[in-house]
Amino acid sequence: MSQFRSADWFGKTGKMGFLYRSWMKNQGMPTDLFDGRPVIGICNTWSELTPCNAHLRDLAEAVKRGVYEAGGFPVEFPIMSLGETLLKPTAMLFRNLASMDAEESIRGNPIDGVVLLTGCDKTTPSTMMGAASVGLPTIVVPGGPMLNGKYRGTDIGSGTAVWKLTDDLKTGKITNDEYLAAESCMSRSAGHCMTMGTASTMACMVESLGMCLSQAAATPAVDSRKKVLAQLSGRRIVEMVKEGLTISKILTRAAFENAIKVNAAIGGSTNFIIHLTAIAGRIGVDLCLDDFDRLGSRIPLLLNLMPSGKYLMEDFYYAGGLPVILKELSNELDMGAITVTGKSHAENIKGEGICYNNEVIAAYNTPIIPEAGIAVLKGNLAVNGAVIKPSAATPALMQHTGRAVVFETIEDYHARVDDPQLDIDETCVMVLKNVGPVGYPGMPEVGNMVLPKKLLDKGITDMVRISDGRMSGTAYGTVVLHVSPESAIGGNLALVENGDLICLDVPAKKIELLVDEVELQRRRLLWQKPAYHTDRGYVSMYQRHVQQADKGADLDFLVGNSGSVVTRDSH
């Protein structure tokens, strides 16, 4: 009998071998499945409460076919699923919890290799964080984007259309009936957001890291070729186990640097920074906020896709998908980095990387925007850093000084933003406090604050907005996010008052509160730390142990890994 990890369960003699095999046999499994072949865990984030992942049970069956074909033994298991669209107060609060679920489920069971079925925003980083902490051979099967939204003769993008249509409804440009009709038109097939939101960004991150098969990121969820990729992934994970190709051999420093550059070229979500940093922390790669600026901010935008452009993920796939981006960036990337195929990126895309629509994917030498990667800002308002996505911002606001209009909490914002008496104009800077990892808790996607109705009525579509929260990857605007340290733990954002001048200078990578240090010190002495939201359960633990945004917002005791060894039996 081969001595894969699972042999410590199914290869045992006596009582423990009897126990481990017998109860599995109540599912109708024949004895020869326990003959020492690789056991492949299929980590499924399927849930009807996670609409983006509701089709993953079908993909799991395709993976199983591939595992059986390659001589493996597939076992599917569920973990906590994080539905971005439904889960309150924010799915980000539970990303670390889901990562713990994935980690302990993988480590504690007779698994030799694992296939991660992902889709919705947090299901990808959480499962990857968990898998990285165990260290087994791992491959990801992204669930894929929805088909393009179609509304009255035009394409509408998931998420991105929500913000635009909501503004239009608020200003009377469309009726409520039209608004409701667009709901069905936007989400018309299985899959995750078909804009370059966080879900699509995470799928592209996985492919650029080398953690999935080529073309897996952009293939639509309902395209038959998605099932083919799932089946081939099932075959490949068995081979990875036999080769000893573990996740740590793929997630190298070079892989992370590749992902940062690719994210810039596709106009990926700002959430990418937090999730990639957290994954790096689990695998032991030292990644800091400055790396994203140093490596990514000078990379040209090549993908013309909402919210930074015109098209959607289905168009991206037809234009050639991520292999085209890899080929165009080949002089910037480490194309020799190893991937789940056991081959390099260069080998994987040989014969691919052909662009079939230059309106969707631009050439490196004729980019959509010359330098469009996420910019890292620092200054007295964000000592540890903040981020902005230039490709989704208004060029005229990239250097701007304005008067602060402060909202102390999200409730304060909702109560006052549309008050006709609110002292605000388009030159002001909207500031939202207490929406960071500790403050909300969980750092929700509320940073792209909807503008006051009276300004929307004037035709104003963008203003500088600053918070310690996040925004959806589908959103747009001149929005400064992830301010660290956050306001709830006493960062200078907590000290901002109405009327203070704030200077944003993206070219200079600065964000400054134009208040002298003596006055800030006076305010700091008067500041009182907000009480924790609860004294029990996971949320209490989260608030006391979550790291700041610049560290990836992981729990401090989860950084690093524990490996795959479990020495004690269950009975």
386 forms beta bridges with 377
- From the centroid of its chain, how far is CA 368? 23
From CA 325, how far away is CA 263, in angstroms rounded? 10
Q: Which CATH class is domain 375-551?
A: alpha beta
User: How many helices (H) and strands (E) are present in the chain, helices listed first?
Assistant: 20, 14
Tens-digit pLDDT string for the chain (571 aa):
458 999 999 999 999 999 999 999 999 999 999 999 999 999 999 999 999 999 999 999 999 999 999 999 999 999 999 999 999 999 999 999 999 999 999 999 999 999 999 999 999 999 999 999 999 999 999 999 999 999 999 999 998 888 889 889 989 999 999 999 998 899 999 999 999 999 999 999 999 999 999 999 999 999 999 999 999 999 999 999 999 999 999 999 999 999 999 999 999 999 999 999 999 999 999 999 999 999 999 999 999 999 989 999 999 999 999 999 999 999 999 999 999 999 999 999 998 899 999 999 999 999 999 988 899 999 999 999 999 999 889 999 999 999 999 999 999 999 999 999 999 999 999 999 999 999 999 999 999 999 999 999 999 999 999 999 999 988 889 999 999 999 999 999 999 999 999 999 999 999 999 999 999 999 999 999 999 999 999 999 999 999 999 999 999 999 999 999 999 999 9
* Residues 75 and 108: beta-carbon distance below 8 Å: no
Give 375's DSSP letter.
E
Domain limits of the chain?
37-147+189-349, 150-185, 375-551
* Fold of the 37-147+189-349 domain: Rossmann fold (3.40.50)
* Residues 273 and 287: beta-carbon distance below 8 Å: no
- 3-state SS class at 276: helix
From CA 553, how far away is CA 545, in angstroms rounded? 9
* Whether the bond into 485 is cis, omega within 30 of 0: yes
From CA 205, how far away is CA 210, in angstroms rounded? 9
pTM, two decimals, is 0.96
From CA 368, how far away is CA 294, in angstroms rounded? 20
Domains 37-147+189-349 and 375-551 share a fold: no
Q: How many CA atoms lie within 13 A of 13 on its CB side?
A: 1
Relative to beta strand 501-505, strand 429-432 is: unpaired
Torsion angle of the four alpha carbons 287, 293, 295, 300, in this order, in degrees rounded to the nearest 10 = 140
- Look-up of token digits 């795959």: 564
Radius of gyration of the chain (CA): 24
